[in-house]
Amino acid sequence: MSTRQKKNIKAYVLILPLVCLLLSAYFMYHSLNGRYGYHSYENAVDQALHLEYQLASLREDRDRLIKRVRLLKNGSIEKDMLDEQARYHLN
């Protein structure tokens, strides 16, 4: 009857820490650069800020147009609005 003994290879001691290190590096990379990572979050925040400024600008334009419409709807047209409309239509 024969018995086999395994050689103690020092590389087996390094396999588990190496696998853990590689997995950690993988998850860290994707937490920064992935689809839902930190850089994507920063881009989303920048885009949200840009859209808020655009919304504020559109609200100002809407308020300005509402004021102009109120001047026309009152039944009596203001003199400056009448002059402006006349110049627009008559070139």
- Among 85, 53, 54, 46, which Cα is nearest to 68's? 85
Task: Return the residue matching tokens 């239509």.
Answer: 89
Q: What is the pLDDT of residues 33-83, one digit of tens each?
A: 888 889 899 999 999 999 999 999 999 999 999 988 887 776 666 777 778
- Span 16-29, pLDDT tens digits: 899 999 999 999 99
pTM above 0.95, yes or no: no
